[in-house]
Amino acid sequence: MLTTELNAGFLIGAAIGSGSNARAVEHGGADFLLAINAGRLRNMGVPSIASMLPVLDANSLTEGFAREELLALCRKPVLLGVNVWGRTFNPEAQAAAIGEAGFAGAVNFPSCMHYSRPMQQILSRAGRGIEQEVELLKAVQDAGMMSMFYCSSRTQARLAADAGLDLVCLNIGWNVGGAMGHRSRSTIEEVAIEAREIGRLIKRISPKTRFLLEGGPIAAPEDLSRVLSLAPLDGYVGGSTIDRLPLEASVASMIDGFRRASMRPTRLDDESLGLVNWAKQFGFVGQSEVQLMMLRRLRALSSANDPVLIVAEPGQNSLPAVRALGAIKARSRSLNMVQIDVAEQDLPARARNVLFGRRDSSSARPPILTDPTVELVVIRAPERLTQALQRRLARALRDGVFRMAGSRRMLKIEPRIVLQCDVQVQEDTVVEDLLGAGLEPELVSHMAGWTLRLPPLRERISDLAVLIETEAEGGHLEFSSGALQRLQAHDWPENEAELHTVLGRLAGRSSRLPVQADELEPLLRSAPNNDRRQKTRSERDLIVDILWRNGFNRTKAAEALGISRKTLYNKIMKYGLSG
């Protein structure tokens, strides 16, 4: 027997279908390779289950690629997949041919075990059943080679153990996961219980036989680890988990990486690079075109001392912009800033007293607008101030001075004033949207030339990757290609705050595999007030945006828009978007 060539510890077998994959698994430390027709078919883009269909002769298909690609490239033992369904059945002659070809042994694949019990009985009566598979592998083993027997039941395992075969692998069905995966009918715990019972049976009959496991819900190393905590095993054989799933994930991820690389500028010009570096000191992340446009305007506004109105949607991080606007006033590395959130004030009068002072002259605290020790005053939600107070604020900002109630003396505004409205506005309808949000026309008019709109996350999706890298720094979060596409297609109604929440919920995942798209579905929220936002955008712009987010897949775009594919096609033609 050649089992002495295998290590005495835990065995890893790999059922693969190409020379390139063979080299990879050998480099990764696999103990032996299986050359089976399912592996070859997987590499041809066909589901593994096609190995049981009469599409190609299994023996000739397997031996052909195994000779040319595996034996010629690999030093590890290669077991040839064989079946007993030929016109004649001569175990000794077949075993001799396997040895002469240079294989280390054989494995029963394709096997009767994948068929239903009635079909297995018919094949056994015809002399082409499980019993003949065991007989063939026993002949291979008697010829001084290695044998591995696939089984799916206690009865089949007992046959192999009675024959004293080298390796017995419990196959628990086709692998789940990936583009061509199957649905699991068993949980990890159920698999472990079955493996424990069959393993004990085999060891009682043939202690030297090594017991392995393959298939079903075991799709990742973590799954195998859970089984091992419940059932002793001598090894694991990977088919789709080694040959198909990693290939699908890695190639898709690489393609998506190239696509994402093309979406972001590979090299910024000197002006843009300087702008990005300037913005980093305040906490900005990203270099999308809309982000750069906003930063250019912000840098210009930051060099002045005039009041500025920041417009940001709920969930956007406005603090970097506030820091930039206060930089010119800062007398030290730490900015002396006071924030007044009108939405949190108990009464409008309280905000008025804080800003403009009280009639009671006994108050030791001066109005915040006149405090020379304060460098920046941020007034959040000014639209919630009373109309009269908004008009008073507009006039004070216009004149730079104001008169406190009960006094004739004019007081000078000392700090720089930043107003912040957390409302949803569009670039071409900022004035109308601010008026609709409750800002007084006089205040909107005065701030018209000094308004800074922060682009929401949905408008700078090309910054998403670097935002994730920054947010998840140290968390080692990786996303599959499908997951990244799902994140890019999301509308992000709560902007960076929602991204922060999603990444936080993914932190501490038990799996080390990349995050999959289906994991994101319960974490991503639908956009609130979506109808209102869509009305503020032209239908053409909305369609272009949704098409871009969904990779110009018309079916997905139609679903996102809530219309039929035919209706979407008509609108594409209407707006001349077919090119």
Answer yes or no: are the C-beta atoms of 338 and 376 closer than 8 Å: yes
Domain-wise residue ranges, the chain? 10-243, 297-454, 460-574
Higher pLDDT, 466 or 474: 466
Instruction: Give the tens place of pLDDT for each residue, 414-437.
Output: 999 999 999 888 888 888 889 888
Predicted pLDDT of residue 394 = 95
Burial of 520 per CB tally in 10 Å (0-12, 13-18, 19+): buried
Q: Is the pLDDT of residue 527 over 50?
A: no
Tell me whether domains 10-243 and 297-454 share a fold.
no
Strand order in the sheet with 451-453: 337-341, 376-380, 416-422, 308-312, 451-453
Predicted pLDDT of residue 571 = 83
Instruction: Give the tens place of pLDDT for each residue, 157-204.
Output: 999 999 999 999 998 876 554 444 444 556 888 888 899 999 999 999
Q: What is the pTM of this model?
A: 0.56
At residue 14, what are phi and psi to the nearest 5 degrees? -130, 120
- Which CATH number does the domain 297-454 belong to among 3.40.50.300, 3.30.230.10, 3.90.79.10, 3.30.70.100? 3.40.50.300
Q: Is the pLDDT of residue 3 over 60?
A: no
CA distances from 300 to 305, 377, 407, 455, 483 (A): 11, 19, 37, 17, 38
Report the alpha-carbon distance of residue 11 to residue 169 in Å, rounded: 11
CB atoms closer than 10 angstroms to residue 487: 20
Q: What is the per-residue burial (b if ≥16 Cβ within 10 Å, else e) of 218-250?
A: bbeeebbebbeeebebbbbbbbbbbbbbbbbbe
Report the alpha-carbon distance of residue 32 to residue 98 in Å, rounded: 16
Q: Is the pLDDT of residue 526 over 60?
A: no
Q: Is the pLDDT of residue 579 over 70?
A: no
Q: What is the DSSP string of 208-256?
A: TSEEEEE-TT--SHHHHHHHHTTS--SEEEESHHHHTHHHHHHHHHHHH
**Cis peptide bond upstream of 455, omega within 30:** no
Average pLDDT over residues 258-279: 74
CA distances from 160 to 103, 150, 236 (A): 21, 9, 18
Instruction: Give the tens place of pLDDT for each residue, 70-82.
Output: 888 888 899 999 9
Which residue is listed with tokens 């930089």?
A: 327
| Average pLDDT value for the chain | 83
Predicted pLDDT of residue 549 = 61
Average pLDDT over residues 309-318: 94
CB atoms closer than 10 angstroms to residue 191: 24
Q: Is the pLDDT of residue 124 over 70?
A: yes
- Which CATH number does the domain 10-243 belong to among 3.30.1490.20, 3.40.630.30, 3.40.190.80, 3.20.20.70? 3.20.20.70
CA distances from 62 to 15, 80, 87, 399, 553 (A): 12, 7, 18, 87, 38
Instruction: Give the tens place of pLDDT for each residue, 32-42.
Output: 998 888 777 77
Most confident of 142-146, 231-235, 462-466, 557-561: 142-146
Q: What single letter denotes the amino acid at residue 81? A: G
Average pLDDT over residues 10-21: 85
Tokens describing residue 53: 């269909």
Report the alpha-carbon distance of residue 442 to residue 445 in Å, rounded: 5
Higher pLDDT, 475 or 343: 343
